[in-house]
Structure 1
Amino acid sequence: MRVRVATTALGITATLLALPACSTNTTGATHQTPFSARTEEPSNAVHKPAALSSAALESRLLDQSDLGSGYLPKPERPARHDDVTVIGCPALSELGGDAATGGTLTFPHKAKAAFTYGDSSSEISEELYSDTANKLSAGIGRIFDAMTGCPTYQVVAGGTAIDITTQKLPAPRRLGDQQWSQLLTFSTAGRSTVVKQTAIHNGNLLLIVSGSPALVDRHLGKALAKATATG
């Protein structure tokens, strides 16, 4: 069976999607080292910018003109509600709710866009969230810590078992206030998919870019620049 396992900001998903052309995708991943960097907790600044609305976040997402030729918007698929069980990672199981089912983060203001590239076997998604700096930091930090604390675990979703391995990666320290990055390998039915996921916390914004490692590396800086642009 040919399948693709999609990921979100919360790390794992329980959704299996039909894959038009599936093979192990390790583009851009071989040069990574098994280490993750995260900066200090944000200080309680005197000035606390207000959270941005979901509409404002939507306007700050990358679009086709930002990405360049070869990218097509990926239609949003109907939400699925399969029963999900996490095996071998108690910290992730304890998060419960959307964190265990691959939904979006529960911050009140959010926006998301996803694109396919080339023959559609490569994808990139961008998620933006806005809230207070402390809430953003605590929320994403707790989830990344839980995920990367389990090098291997399994997710059973809708009767399908997905083996997952996680690898901490060097986070891009020069971007934003805090950074997290990881490489996930999803394996099922003899097929594997590699996904890179990098989160950048900057003030009242949280940016998460996920997808094919080479595409994440290519567009991360551009995504942060547009998300944090003023005026």
Structure 2
Amino acid sequence: MAELKPLAEDALPPLLLTQEDLGKGYAQAQEQPGDRKPDDVSVQGCPSLEKLGRSGEKDMFAVKAETSFIYARDATLSEELHSDRPSVLSSKLSELFGAYISCPTYTMTSGTTPIEVKVSKAATPELGDEQFAYTLMMELPSGPQVLKTMAVRKDNIAVMLVGAPALVDRHIKTAVGKLSAGN
């Protein structure tokens, strides 16, 4: 049997979560110009993440769509959808998540601010064909912040949620459920 091909670029946005999917209290985040400056962030003390940063993860998959939400004014939930051949998604997600959990601690520098990061592998629900998850605890100048990243691959689509752990856990099943409409 031939391996599934990536979806067309316009097929992913309709599969993203919406405010209606999430329920009350969520607002679509409006990205401001200049919000994302990945060149301003570097990693020290974790060779696998340093290597990943040099190779550039932004063009890791053939097709991508993304959205983000704010919940109760301060918690965030971001979603990325990726489509590629299943073998490519599997291999690259394994590499990405493996890099993160390979170092239990490292330092991330944002601008000139060093941020201590602790990483732990996280449990995943039995959804889709493959599941990956980790939790980051960052010591920010404003205080500690915990973020969970979870990805689920289903055929030739992967959904990745990043945000407050309770929000990721609460919405991953809905996000994966929407993937069925893409195939």
The alignment's TM-score, normalised by the length of structure 2, stands at: 0.91
After superposition, the C-alpha distances for 1:172-214 in whole angstroms (9 at most, x for unaligned) are 2x20111111111111225111011111011101110111111
Q: Would the aligned equivalents of 1:82 and 1:158 in 2 still touch at CA under 8 Å?
A: no
Query: 2:25 pairs with 67, 70, 92, which one?
Result: 70
How far 1:48 moved relative to its partner? Answer: 2.2
Go from structure 1 to structure 2 and tell me whether the alpha carbon gap of 1:190 and 1:176 turns closer, same or farther (over 3 Å shift). same
Unaligned runs of 5+ in 2: none
User: RMSD over aligned Cα, in angstroms?
Assistant: 1.6
The residue type equivalent to 2:88 in the other structure is: K
Which structure shows the bigger proportion of residues in strand conformation?
2
Q: How does 1:91-130 map to 2 (within 5 A)?
A: 91-95=48-52, 96-99=54-57, 104-118=58-72, 120-130=73-83
**Number of equivalences:** 180
Q: Secondary structure at the match of 1:210?
A: strand
Residue 170 of structure 1: aligned partner = 123
TM-score by length of 1: 0.73
Deviation string, structure 1 residues 23-79 (Cα, Å, up to 9, x no partner): xxxxxxxxxxxxxxxxxxxxxxx1422211222100100101111111100012333
Distance 1:218 1:198 in 2: 12
Larger helix proportion, structure 1 or 2? 2
What CA distance in whole angstroms lies between the structure 1 residues aligned with 2:172 and 2:59?
Answer: 19
Contact 1:126–1:209 (Cα < 8 Å) also in 2: yes
Instruction: Give the Cα separation in 1 of the matches to 2:12 and 2:38.
Output: 26
Secondary structure, counterpart of 2:173 in structure 1:
helix
Distance in 1 of aligned mates of 2:12 and 2:162? 17
Separation (CA, whole Å) in 2 of partners of 1:47 and 1:151: 39
Question: Residues 68-111 of structure 1: CA distance to partner in whole angstroms, max 9, x if unpaired?
Answer: 11110001233325443311101111122334xxxx35212110
Q: List alignment gaps of at least 5 residues for structure 1.
A: 1-45
Structure having greater relative contact order (Cα 8 Å, sep ≥ 6):
1
